[in-house]
Amino acid sequence: MTRIGLAPVLGYLIIEEDFNIALGVFALAGLTDLLDGFIARNWASQKSALGSALDPLADKILISILYVSLTYADLIPVPLTYMIISRDVMLIAAVFYVRYRTLPTPRTLAKYFNPCYATARLKPTFISKVNTAVQLILVAASLAAPVFNYADSIYLQILWCCTAFTTAASAYSYYHYGRKTVQVIKD
């Protein structure tokens, strides 16, 4: 919930070009993500279906707001942001479709939107995990660029290309492996 709450704050700070504070808030968001994962892995009583649904949602919200606002601030190119958001929209649409297909009849809206009623689990591909890391590295580097005065660096442009490549490869991996990335949960 903290990352979801920090996302619009980060977007506002970036649009207002307050990059020093935005970099600190981004670090705080990353710390809360690490802490959340650590707690979920080490204390089984703290793991929940709601948390399992909110964690990837928080990641998508945070990444989307960061990329759109960094693009608005001319720190990330428009085509790259379009590519990243498009991939995420396609993944979300696929998750909604899988949710619908795996829901037992009668299918109701109450059942469909109940995160405690898990019917399938998406297993991220290896390249998707790499892509997430590369996307977050690009966000951190782009946020730091105006702070440390390297916004026109060739290394940042190379990172744009790497991010585009891993995003395309990740999208393809979900398309290619499709059903292998979805685990249907049987009662």
Report DSSP state, residue 83. H
Model pLDDT, residue 169 = 97
**Prediction pTM value:** 0.86
- Judged against a pLDDT cut of 80, whether residue 100 lies above it is answered with yes
Model pLDDT, residue 184 = 78
The CA distance from 47 to 42, in Å, is 9
The CA distance from 32 to 29, in Å, is 5
* Per-residue pLDDT tens digits for 113-135: 887 777 777 788 899 999 999 99
Domains of the chain: 1-184 (1.20.120)
What is the average pLDDT value for the chain, to the nearest integer? 88
Model pLDDT, residue 40 = 75
Inter-residue long-range contacts of 48-54, CB under 8 Å, 24+ positions, other chains counted: 48/116, 49/115, 49/116, 49/117, 49/118, 50/115, 50/116, 52/115, 52/118, 52/121, 53/115, 54/1, 54/4, 54/115
Model pLDDT, residue 139 = 95
Work out the average pLDDT over 151-161: 95
Q: Which residue has the higher pLDDT, 55 or 67?
A: 67
* Per-residue pLDDT tens digits for 9-58: 999 999 999 999 999 999 998 898 888 778 877 887 776 666 666 777 88
Per-residue pLDDT band for 71 (boundaries 50, 70, 90) equals very high
* Per-residue pLDDT tens digits for 76-88: 999 999 999 999 9
User: What's the CA angle centered on 7, arms 85 and 158, to 5 degrees?
Assistant: 50
* Per-residue pLDDT tens digits for 143-153: 999 999 999 99
Model pLDDT, residue 52 = 67
Q: Are 14 and 70 in contact (CB under 8 A)?
A: yes
